[in-house]
Structure 1
Amino acid sequence: MDNNLKKLIPFALVYKKDIILNIVYNIFYAFFSTLLMVSMIPTLNVIFGLNKKITVEPKFNGIGGIKTYLEDYLNFKVTELTANNSFEVAILFVISIIIATAFLKNITNYFASYHVTRLRNGVLKDIREKLYEVIIHLPVSYYSEKRKGDVMSRMLGDVNEVKNSFFQVLELVVREPLTILFSIITMFFISAKLTLFVFLFIPVSGIIISRVGKTLKAKSTKAQEQNGIQISILDETLSGLKVVKGFNAEDKFISKFNASLQRLLRLSNSIGNKNNLASPLSEFLGIVTIAILLWYGGQLVIVDKSLAPTTFIAYIALAYTILTPAKAISKASYQVRGGLAAAERVFSILEEENTIQNKPDAIVKDTFDRNIKLENINFAYQEENVLTNFSIEIPKGKTIALVGQSGSGKSTIANLLTRFYDVNEGKITIDGIDIKDMDMHSLRSLMGLVTQDSILFNDSIKNNLLIGKPNATDNKIIEALKVANAYEFVKDLPEGIETNIGDSGSKLSGGQKQRLSIARAVLKNPPIMILDEATSALDTESEKFVQVALENMMQNRTSIVIAHRLSTIQKADNIIVMQKGEIVEQGTHDELLAKEGTYSKLVMMQSFE
C-alpha cells in the first residue's frame, strides 16, 4: 500500500460507520447489478416460448442445487400464471422481477453514494482543519523560504484533489471489483468453458492499460507545483498592485503569469489526455474481448448446441456489464495517481517539523518583575551572523532604543524576543527564566508588538482590536483608541468602531492604520512593548499623531523601541547604537551626542539638532 494512502487512513477511520455502510450498500449494488442481467433470461424465455413447462413446485435440496432450483421455481410460476391467466400476465410477472431488481440496484447505489459523500466531505474538512492548525503554528522562518501561493495551493487545490481521487479507492476495491466478481461467478454458472476462454484475454488488457498511466504521478506533481506558482504570482500582483502600475510593469507580470499558464497547460493536456484515454481504451479492449466471445459462443449455440440462445444473450449482457466497472477502475486508478501526488504535497506540510515549540514542562509566567537580558547572542538567518556576541539588559519600566543602519540587526532582536526565531547561541531571559523554557502563549501575552507595516484584517475596527483581548468591552476599546490618538477619526466614521476597514485596512490612511495597530497593543495592555520602526513609513503630520500615541502607550511600561527616525527616541533611558550586529555605542541622547561618534553622525545625517 502506498505510504500516502496509509497516512490518509486515520482521517478516514473517524467516519468508520460511513465506510462500513458504503461497503455494505456497494455489495448489494454489485449483487443486484448482476441479478438484473440474469433476470433477462426468464423474460426472453417467456417471450420466445422457450421456458420449460413445470407443473409441480420444485423442492430446495441445498446450496449446491440453487441454480437448478431457482430456474425450475421461476418456470413453475410462469407455467402456473400462463395456465390460470393469460400470456400477458406471465410477461408482466417476469418484467416486474426486472423492475424490482433495477429499483433495488439503484436505491443501494444512492445509499452507497450518500455515505461516501459524507466520508469525502468529512475527511476534506478534517484535513483542512489540521492543515490550517499546522500552517498557523509553523515558525515564521518556514514562510521566509516557501512561497505563500504554494502553501495556499496545497491547502485549497491539493486537498480537494485528494478528496476527489482517493475516495474512489472505495469503489476501486469494493463496488466495481464485486460487480465484476459477481458477474464472472454467474458467467461460470452459465458456461464455464466460455468464461475460461474469455479469461485468456483479460491479462493482456490489464498490462496495456497500466502502461499508459505509468508517468501520471510525476506529471501531476509538476502540475500542482505550477498551480502554486500561479497563486503566488496572483498574490504578489494584488499585494503590490500600486508598484506594478507605478512602474508600468503590467506587461512583465502578464508575461510571467502567462508563461506559468503555458507550462500548466502542457502538463494538464498531457495528464488529461492520459485520463481521457483510460475509458475508451478499456472499452475498446472490452469490445474486442466480447467480439471474440461472440465468435466462440456462437459456435457453442449453433454448432455444439450446448448453450441456449436466450442464455447466451444474457451471458453477452453480463460480459458487457463488466466493461462499465472495468472502465471505472482504469479511470479511477489514473485519478488515484494524481491524488498520490497531491497527498504527498499535503502531508509534506502536515509532517513539517515545528522547530519552535513549547517544552513538555514549559513554565507559565504571567507577570514581569525585574528585567529582560540578552546574553552573548549569536544569530544567523542563513550563514552569515546578523548578531554577534550581543548582550544587553532591559530593566523593568525603562525605555531602550535600538538604532543603526539597515541590516544592523535591530528588527532581529524583536523577532528573537517574541520567539518568532530561536537564537543559535546564547540566551534570552525574562526575570532570569530562559524564554525557551517558557510557555510561548504566556511569553507573548507579556508583550505588545507594533510593526512598521500596520497588519490589519478585513473586518471591523472593533474586531481588529479584539485580537489582542477578545473579551474587552466597547468602553475599553474606546479608551485604547483615545490613548492611541485614534478616536478622533474613528468617532467620525459612519459606523464608529463597527466600521469595516477593508482588505489590509485599505480604507484608511497610513497614519490611521498605524494608530489602530497601537490601539490594539494598548488594549492588550502588556507589561512589555516592542515597537519595530513604528513611525518610519509615516509622513511628518501622521508621525506627530503617532508619536504622541506611542508616548501615551509607553508610560509605566518596559519598552524596546527599534527606530530609524532618531527624532522618536530622544527621551529613551538608554539608546543602543548597532552596527553589523554588534553594539558600538550606548547611553542617553545627550551622552551620545557629546561623544560625537556613530550616533552623532546618524543624527547629523537626519538633520536633527
Structure 2
Amino acid sequence: MHYFRKILKYALPYKRYAWLNIISNIFYAFFGSLAFVSLIPMLKVLFEDPENIEAKVTTVPEYTGITELGDYTEQYLNYYIHQNNEASGEMNTLVIMIVLVISTFLLKNLFGYLAMFFITFLRNGVLKDLRNDLYRKTIDLPVSFYSEKRKGDTIARISSDVLEIQHSFLSILELIVREPLMIIFTIIFMLLISVKLTIFVFVFIPVSGFIISRIGKSLKRHSDKVQKEQGFFLSILEETLGGLKIIKGFNAEKIFNNRFQESTGRFFKYSNTLLNRQNLASPASEFLGILVIAILLWFGGNMVLVENTLQPAQFIAYMGLAYNILTPAKAISKASYNVKKGNAAAERVLEILETESSITDKPGAMEKTSFTESVEIDNISFKYEDEWVLKDFSLKVPKGSTVALVGQSGSGKSTIANLVTRFYDVNKGEIRIDGNNIVDITQKSLRGLLGLVTQDSILFNDTVAGNLRVAKEEASEEELIAALKVANAWEFVSLLPEGIHTNIGDSGNKLSGGQKQRLSIARAVLKNPPIMILDEATSALDTESERLVQQALENMMKNRTSIVIAHRLSTIQNADNIVVLSKGEIVEQGKHQELLAKKAVYYSLVEMQSLA
C-alpha cells in the first residue's frame, strides 16, 4: 500500500466522483442486504398459517427501543399481514410482498450501476493524468537516462503498468467502501434476526480469513517479475522493428526469434504462477464460505426444529443473508490480490516519476534570447562512465564564424555537441555563451539559441509540414516552403502526392537518406537560430546527395555561428577554424591550407580519405 498511497493523489481532481461513488455504494449495500430481509414477509404469507399470525398480533405493537428492533419489526409485519389479509385477501398481500422484494432488488442494482458509472470517470481520469505525467517526465529526463534503460521497459510502464494501476484502483475502492459496507449492513440485519446464530457464524470467519491471506503473500513478487519481463520483450520488439533491415540482411531472424521466445517463455512461466495463485483466491474463499453455511444449516436447523427459538421464514432469510456475505468477502479477497499486483505496478511507475533529472535549471536561471559575442568552451573535462572522453578541452567560437571539429571515431567530437546543447553536464570546466555559463541559463532559452542537425535524420510519422513545425509550431506555409528551398528540399517535396501535407512514414522511411537529411536541415532553417550545430550531417550520404546537402548547409550557415562535426573533410575546407581531436584532446588547429602545410594529423586524415 506504500506506493499505492502515492498514486491516490491523482484521484484528488476527481474526488466528487469518488464521493458520488461512495454514496451510491452505501445505498447499494443497504438495499442489497434489505433485499433478503424483504423476503421474510413474503415467506410468512406463503408458508405460515394465517391463524398463527392473527393470534400473534391484533393491535399495533409499541416501539420499545433499538435493542428490541428485531422483535418490533417482526410484530409490525405480523400486524400488517393480518390487517391486509382481513381487508384484501391473501393473494393481494402476496402481490404487495412481491412488489416489495422486486423494489429492493431494483434499487440495489440501480445504485450498483450508478456506483460503477461514477467510478468510471475517476478511473479513466487517473489513467489519463498518470500517463500524461509519465510522458512529461519521459521527455523531461536527460538523454543519459535512456542510455541505461531499455525503451521497451519505459513503454511497458506507460502502457500495461498504468493499466494495472487503473484496474487496481477500482479494486481498492471496492475493498474499502462497497464490499465492507455490504458486509456491515448484512451483519446488522443478521443480528436483528438472531444474535445467537450470528455470534456462532463469526467464530469461523477469522479462521477462513487467515487461510485466504496465506495464499497471496508472494503475489507482489510474482507480479513484479511479470511486469519486468513484459518490458524486456517489448524492448526486443522495439529493437526488431527499428533494425529489421539488419536482421534480414544478416539472416539473424533465428537469433532474434530465440531471444524473443526465451523472454515470452519466462513471461509464460511467471504469468502462470501469478494467475494460478490469484485464481485460487475465489474458489478457496467460496469453499470456506460454503463450509460456514453448512455448519450454519446444522446449528440454525437445530434452533428451528428442536429449540423452536427461530421461525422458518426468518431462518430462510437469514441463510440468504449469510450467503450474501460470501460475494463481498470473495470480492475483498480478489481485490486484495489486485491491490498487491497494482502495488508492484505502482512501484515501477513511481520509479520513473520520482527519478530526479540530473539536468535541471538553477533557481533564478536567466532567460537568454540573443547571441552577441561568442561560445567559449573553457578547460572542460567529461566522462560518460569511467574513462575521460574529453580532457582539459578549450575552444572559442566567435559570433559569425564556422568552427569544424575533426578526428577519428571516439575522439570526443559528438560529445562536444552533447555538452553545448546541455544534453549532458560537464564534469569540470565551463561552457559559456556571451560570458554566461550555460548552467545559469534556462534549458529552454539555451536550446532556443541552438539549431541541431544530426547524422541520423530524426523525423516523425507525420507530414512534411508537421515535421518542420516541430521547430516553429505557428509557421505559415510560405515560411515552410522558404525553408525547404534554402535546404534544397523543395524540388522533391513539391513532387510528393500532397506536397508539404504528404505523410513521410515512420522515421521518414518513404524518403531517401539525402531527402531525409535535407528535411532535417529545412527544420533547422525554419527555427532560424543564431548558433548552428551540425553533427556529421553528410557522413551517411552518397556523392550526389552529399553535394545537395552540402549546398543546403552552406546556404544555412551564411551569417551564422556554426560548430560543425565533420567526418568527410571535403565539406569543411572553408571553415574559419578546423580543430583536430585525438582521445579527447586538441592536437592541432587552424585553417585548411595551414593544417595541410604542417603535414601532421590533419594531413594524414585528408590523405586517408583521398585514397579511399
Aligned equivalents of 1:394 and 1:558: distance in 2?
A: 8
Task: Kindly indicate whether residue 191 of structure 2 is the aligned counterpart of residue 192 of structure 1.
Answer: no
Task: Kindly indicate whether residue 130 of structure 2 is the aligned counterpart of residue 131 of structure 1.
Answer: no
Give the superposition deviation at 1:64: 4.3
Q: Secondary structure at the match of 1:201?
A: helix
Q: Secondary structure at the match of 1:122?
A: helix
Task: Kindly indicate whether residue 495 of structure 2 is the aligned counterpart of residue 495 of structure 1.
Answer: no
Q: Residue 70 of structure 2 contacts residue 193 of structure 2 at CA under 8 Å; is this kept in 1?
A: no
Q: Secondary structure at the match of 1:168?
A: helix
How many residue pairs match? The answer is 608
Give the superposition deviation at 1:42: 0.9
Unaligned runs of 5+ residues in structure 1 are none
* Counterpart in the other structure of 1:444: 447
Unaligned runs of 5+ residues in structure 2 are none
Task: Kindly indicate whether residue 569 of structure 2 is the aligned counterpart of residue 570 of structure 1.
Answer: no
Superposed counterparts of 1:296-315, under 5 Å: 296-315=299-318
Q: Counterpart amino acid of 2:511?
A: L
Aligned equivalents of 1:211 and 1:64: distance in 2?
A: 38
Aligned equivalents of 2:310 and 2:542: distance in 1?
A: 95
Instruction: Give the percent of matched residue pairs that are identical in Structure 1 and Structure 2.
Output: 60
Aligned equivalents of 2:491 and 2:37: distance in 1?
A: 83
Q: Residue 61 of structure 2 contacts residue 76 of structure 2 at CA under 8 Å; is this kept in 1?
A: yes
Q: Counterpart amino acid of 1:548?
A: Q
Match of 1:245 among 243, 248, 260: 248
Aligned equivalents of 1:453 and 1:208: distance in 2?
A: 59
Q: Counterpart amino acid of 1:12?
A: A
Q: Secondary structure at the match of 1:15?
A: helix
Match of 1:259 among 262, 286, 292: 262
Task: Kindly indicate whether residue 401 of structure 2 is the aligned counterpart of residue 383 of structure 1.
Answer: no
* Counterpart in the other structure of 2:8: 9
Q: Residue 567 of structure 1 contacts residue 608 of structure 1 at CA under 8 Å; is this kept in 2?
A: no
Aligned equivalents of 1:174 and 1:487: distance in 2?
A: 63
Give the superposition deviation at 1:166: 2.6
Aligned equivalents of 2:318 and 2:486: distance in 1?
A: 86
| Structure 1 residues 260-291: Cα deviation after superposition (integer angstroms, max 9, x where no partner) | 00100011111111111111100000011111
Q: Secondary structure at the match of 1:107?
A: helix
Superposed counterparts of 1:88-127, under 5 Å: 88-127=91-130
Superposed counterparts of 1:245-394, under 5 Å: 245-394=248-397
| Structure 1 residues 317-364: Cα deviation after superposition (integer angstroms, max 9, x where no partner) | 111111111111111111111101000000010000011111120111
Q: Residue 69 of structure 2 contacts residue 192 of structure 2 at CA under 8 Å; is this kept in 1?
A: no
Q: Counterpart amino acid of 1:112?
A: A
Q: Secondary structure at the match of 1:415?
A: helix
Match of 1:79 among 79, 82, 88: 82
TM-score (structure 2 length as normaliser):
0.98
Q: Residue 379 of structure 1 contacts residue 387 of structure 1 at CA under 8 Å; is this kept in 2?
A: yes
Match of 1:232 among 229, 232, 235: 235
Deviates more, 1:72-81 or 1:563-572: 72-81
TM-score (structure 1 length as normaliser):
0.98
Q: Counterpart amino acid of 1:248?
A: N
Q: Secondary structure at the match of 1:469?
A: coil
Give the superposition deviation at 1:187: 1.4
| Structure 1 residues 57-88: Cα deviation after superposition (integer angstroms, max 9, x where no partner) | 34545544433333333323322221122221
* Counterpart in the other structure of 1:31: 30
* Counterpart in the other structure of 1:143: 146
Deviates more, 1:54-63 or 1:584-593: 54-63
Match of 2:163 among 156, 160, 168: 160
Q: Secondary structure at the match of 1:584?
A: strand
* Counterpart in the other structure of 2:542: 539
Q: Secondary structure at the match of 1:57?
A: coil
Match of 1:404 among 393, 403, 407: 407
Q: Counterpart amino acid of 2:390?
A: L
Q: Residue 361 of structure 2 contacts residue 443 of structure 2 at CA under 8 Å; is this kept in 1?
A: yes
| Structure 1 residues 582-602: Cα deviation after superposition (integer angstroms, max 9, x where no partner) | 000000000000000000000
Deviates more, 1:110-119 or 1:395-404: 110-119
Deviates more, 1:23-32 or 1:389-398: 23-32
Q: Secondary structure at the match of 1:373?
A: strand
Q: Counterpart amino acid of 1:34?
A: S
| Structure 1 residues 391-410: Cα deviation after superposition (integer angstroms, max 9, x where no partner) | 00000000000000000000
Q: Residue 389 of structure 1 contacts residue 582 of structure 1 at CA under 8 Å; is this kept in 2?
A: yes
| Structure 1 residues 517-549: Cα deviation after superposition (integer angstroms, max 9, x where no partner) | 000000100000000000001011110110000
